[in-house]
Structure formats: structure tokens, C-alpha cells
């Protein structure tokens, strides 16, 4: 399918080149050719977006395959009492068949000569996360398994560079990464442990948040993301599942830079497509360059979800959702929630501009508009 689309794309580009090379002296004919060129350019952009969306889905499947190939042991689906559940920096994603492969660590097992495994906290596409006691620091930490080992020395170097950059982000609304751990075939991250729930789970229980509550949580998220932007770090995968909420409604952003780091640890790709479709900026869907404004778009999509009760776009497949981000305008938030202040709607819609140049420059600027 992608090959066919690429072929059509090349054809349209060829036709546009022809039109540019044959300016016509007749004003009416010239205007007709300009209009045809605009239509062809729009079709090319749409086709390229489709190709990138297909790449997104293929990349996600490849990552799941890599996780399965590196897995040791078959673990059953995790179940926990909601009243006693304490989540760490992870996004639990169920396997299509009801179970998933992951690195199997057991309570009491010692990792790297200092971490004693206490229990499993959750699982994501790259492996599992465990609560562990750090005997050296005498505190509890979250251990996140990245995979069963880096594919090659180059991948390991890239991974370490990304994690090193993420470690520079120090803020009360950001989960702190402590260290990279090598233990035999395993590569793990030790991180700050926070007892609480993910924003995704919280939204699943309560739906759209009260306006004052949403503003409070979003303000904290923006503060954490702004600290990362000030350090030159782009998150690339902001979503409810990557936000932790503790018992006092304090928000902490997790996995800064890890979307890119873990992807690159598993494979090499051009036009890297990283993110979660419901919250991805158009340039992410198209595999283009990304910066702080990419996170601003994701913050806009996240804000839309918190205030309205659902993301700005939905679809049956990642391709459909990604294509909507590139080509469609989201429905007005106030049309779905009339009591929403106009200033909030204006901030969200500006953050969701297709053209990155029309968005807020960074998370701090977005917060100022959202809370005014």
C-alpha cells in the first residue's frame, strides 16, 4: 500500500513540475493552471500524510514485535485493586490477545547488586515497571525495563544521549530520572517513584474535569513541560497516560525524551514518527522536524480532552486519527461545553493550529493564555 501511494505522490509532483515549467500568457489559462497546481499540492500533502500515518502504524507494530522478541516469560494481564493501586511512570497497554511478553522479575530478586524487586507496577510496549527498594539510597524507586538489550553500540549510544538530556529536566512537576542500569541482558531506568494514578485513569473515571480543576492540573503540566523546553528537551509524547496525579492532585509529567530514546534503541528509521495518534501534531504525523511547538499542540489536544471529555479527533485506526490532525479542524470546545470561557477556547484552538508558526512558542506562553 505505501509503495502505491508513494508512486501516486511522485506522479503529482511530476505534474506540478510540468505546470511550473509552462507559464501561459493567457491570464485566464494561467489562473486555471495556478488553481490546478494548488489542488495538486493539496493532494500531494494528503497522500504524504497517509504514507506517514501508515508508517506510524507499522512502526508501532514493529516496536510491539521487538518487545515480544526480547521478552522472557509470559505474564498474565495485570489486575490491581483500585483503592490500593499505586502507579509508576508507565503506560499500561494490554496485548491484543489479553497478555503480553515482558521481562519477568520476581519479588525479592536483586538487580545490579542494589535494587530489591518488591512488586510489579505496570506494563507498557517496551516491557514492565517494578517498585524496588534501592539499598544504596535507602528509598523506593521505580525500575523501568527498556528491552532485553540494545541492538548495537550505536543504538545504545543514542539511547544514553537521549536519557542524559532528559535527566537535565529538574522540576517538581516532572518525574526525576535517576540512572541507567545495565544488568546482564537487561537495560533499565531507575526513576522517582510516585504513588498515585495516571491522568488517563482519572479521566476514565470522572470524564471531563471541572473547569477550575482542569486549569490547575494543566497549569502544573505546563510548568513541567516549560522546564523541559528551557533545558532544550522536547517530550514528543504528551498524553494523559504520561501524567501522574498523586493523592493531593499534584501532577508530574513522565517519560521526557523516552519516546524517541526507546524507539531508537529498538530500530533505525528515517522520518521518525513518534507519539500517540490522539495527541500528535501534524508535523509528527508527517514525519517532519519537531520542536517545543510540537509539544504545545499535544498540550492543546490534552487540554481539549480535559475540558471536553474526549480528544479533538477520534477514528477507528491510527491512520484515520493522524489524517484528521493533518486535514481537519476540531469542533469548537464551547460547542460541546458552552460554559467554557472564551479565553480558554481561544488558547486551545491556537495551540491546535496546523501551522506550527501560528501556535504558542512554548508551554509557558500557552499556560499564560490558558489561565488568563
Q: Give the whole-number percent of the chain exceeding pLDDT 90.
A: 42
Of 95, 104, 105, the residue nearest 63 (C-alpha): 95
CATH code where residue 117 lies = 3.30.200.20
CB atoms within 10 A of CB 237: 24
Mean pLDDT, rounded, for 192-219: 94
Q: Which residues contact 230 (CB under 8 A, 6 or more apart)?
A: none
Which comes out higher in pLDDT, residue 98 or 180? 180
| Same domain, yes or no: 23 and 87 | no
DSSP, res 151: S
| Same domain, yes or no: 201 and 187 | no
Query: What does the pLDDT look like over 240-253, one tens digit per residue?
Result: 999 999 989 999 99
| Same domain, yes or no: 348 and 242 | yes
Tell me which of 138, 164, 192 is where a domain ends: 192
pLDDT at residue 46 in the model: 57
Which comes out higher in pLDDT, residue 182 or 329? 329
pLDDT at residue 163 in the model: 81
Three-class DSSP category at 7: helix
Of 56, 58, 43, the residue nearest 5 (C-alpha): 43
pLDDT at residue 97 in the model: 32
| Same domain, yes or no: 264 and 175 | no
How many whole angstroms separate alpha carbon 73 and alpha carbon 62? 20
pLDDT at residue 26 in the model: 72
CATH code where residue 234 lies = 1.10.510.10
CB 52 within 8 A of CB 322: yes
Check 55, 237, 255, 362 and give the catalytic one.
237
| Same domain, yes or no: 276 and 364 | yes
How many whole angstroms separate alpha carbon 100 and alpha carbon 76? 7
**Could you list the residue range(s) of the whole structural domain that residue 166 is in?**
74-192
Confidence of residue 122 (pLDDT cuts 50, 70, 90): confident
Q: Is 201 a catalytic residue?
A: no
pLDDT at 215 over 90: yes
Mean pLDDT, rounded, for 325-334: 95
Tell me which range, 77-86, 154-163, 313-322, is most confidently predicted by mean pLDDT.
313-322
| Same domain, yes or no: 295 and 251 | yes
| Same domain, yes or no: 147 and 31 | no
CB atoms within 10 A of CB 74: 12
- When divided into structural domains, the chain yields a total of 3
Confidence of residue 6 (pLDDT cuts 50, 70, 90): very low
| Same domain, yes or no: 177 and 49 | no
| Same domain, yes or no: 90 and 141 | yes
Query: What does the pLDDT look like over 98-119, one tens digit per residue?
Result: 333 345 789 999 999 999 999 9
Which comes out higher in pLDDT, residue 47 or 296? 296
Confidence of residue 211 (pLDDT cuts 50, 70, 90): very high
Mean pLDDT, rounded, for 107-136: 87
pLDDT at residue 131 in the model: 95
Indicate the burial class of 200 (C-beta count within 10 angstroms; 0-12, 13-18, 19 or more): middle
| Same domain, yes or no: 218 and 356 | yes
How many whole angstroms separate alpha carbon 102 and alpha carbon 145? 9
- DSSP calls for 168-227: T---TTBPPEEEEEEETTEEEEEEE---SEEHHHHHHHH-SPPHHHHHHHHHHHHHHHHH
Confidence of residue 60 (pLDDT cuts 50, 70, 90): low
From 117-131, 176-190, 287-301, 314-328, the region with the lowest mean pLDDT: 117-131
| Same domain, yes or no: 334 and 220 | yes
pTM value is: 0.72
Here the cell at position 343 is: 479565553
Of 231, 220, 248, the residue nearest 367 (C-alpha): 220
Q: What share of the chain is helix, strand, coil (3-state, %, to 5)?
A: 50, 15, 35
CB 363 within 8 A of CB 219: no
| Same domain, yes or no: 321 and 229 | yes
Tell me which of 136, 160, 192 is where a domain ends: 192
Which comes out higher in pLDDT, residue 7 or 327? 327
pLDDT at 216 over 70: yes
Tell me which of 66, 82, 117 is where a domain ends: 66
Confidence of residue 319 (pLDDT cuts 50, 70, 90): confident
pLDDT at 346 over 60: yes
Which comes out higher in pLDDT, residue 178 or 40? 178
Which comes out higher in pLDDT, residue 343 or 73? 343
pLDDT at 76 over 60: no
Amino acid at each position: 500500500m505505501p509503495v502505491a501511494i508513494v508512486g501516486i505522490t511522485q506522479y503529482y509532483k511530476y505534474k506540478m513540475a510540468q505546470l511550473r515549467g509552462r507559464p501561459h500568457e493567457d491570464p485566464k489559462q494561467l489562473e486555471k493552471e495556478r488553481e490546478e497546481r494548488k489542488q495538486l499540492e493539496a493532494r500531494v500533502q494528503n497522500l504524504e500524510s497517509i504514507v506517514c500515518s501508515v508508517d506510524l502504524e507499522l512502526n508501532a507494530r514493529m516496536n510491539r514485535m521487538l518487545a515480544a522478541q526480547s521478552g522472557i516469560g509470559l505474564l498474565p494481564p495485570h489486575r490491581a485493586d483500585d483503592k490500593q493501586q499505586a502507579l509508576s511512570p508507565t503506560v499500561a497497554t494490554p496485548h491484543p490477545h489479553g497478555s503480553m511478553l515482558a521481562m519477568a522479575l520476581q519479588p525479592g530478586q536483586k538487580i545490579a547488586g542494589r535494587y530489591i524487586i518488591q512488586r510489579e507496577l505496570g506494563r507498557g510496549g517496551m516491557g514492565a515497571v517494578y517498585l524496588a527498594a534501592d539499598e544504596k539510597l535507602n528509598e523506593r524507586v521505580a525500575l523501568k525495563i527498556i528491552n532485553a538489550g540494545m541492538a548495537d553500540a550505536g543504538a545504545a549510544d543514542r539511547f544514553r544521549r537521549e536519557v542524559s538530556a532528559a535527566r537535565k529536566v529538574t522540576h517538581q512537576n516532572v518525574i526525576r530520572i535517576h540512572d541507567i542500569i545495565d544488568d546482564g541482558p537487561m537495560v533499565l531506568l531507575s526513576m522517582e517513584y510516585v504513588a498515585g494514578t495516571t491522568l488517563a485513569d482519572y479521566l476514565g473515571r470522572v470524564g471531563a474535569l471541572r473547569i477550575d480543576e482542569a486549569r490547575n492540573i494543566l497549569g502544573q503540566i505546563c510548568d513541567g513541560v516549560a522546564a523541559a523546553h528551557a533545558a532544550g528537551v522536547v517530550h514528543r509524547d504528551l498524553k494523559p497516560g504520561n501524567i501522574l496525579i498523586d493523592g493531593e492532585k499534584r501532577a508530574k509529567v513522565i517519560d521526557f525524551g523516552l519516546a524517541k530514546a526507546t524507539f531508537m534503541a529498538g530500530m533505525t528509521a528515517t522520518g521518525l514518527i513518534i507519539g500517540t495518534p490522539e495527541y500528535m501534531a501534524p508535523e509528527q504525523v508527517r514525519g517532519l522536524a519537531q520542536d517545543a511547538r510540537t509539544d504545545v499542540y499535544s498540550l492543546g489536544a490534552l487540554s481539549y480532552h480535559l475540558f471536553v471529555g474526549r480528544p479533538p479527533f477520534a477514528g477507528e485506526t491510527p491512520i484515520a486519527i493522524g489524517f484528521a490532525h493533518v486535514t481537519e479542524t476540531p469542533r469548537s470546545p464551547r460547542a460541546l461545553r458552552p460554559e467554557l470561557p472564551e479565553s480558554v477556547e481561544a488558547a486551545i484552538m491556537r495551540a491546535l493550529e496546523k501551522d506550527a508558526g501560528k501556535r504558542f512558542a512554548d508551554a509557558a506562553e500557552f499556560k499564560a493564555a490558558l489561565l488568563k
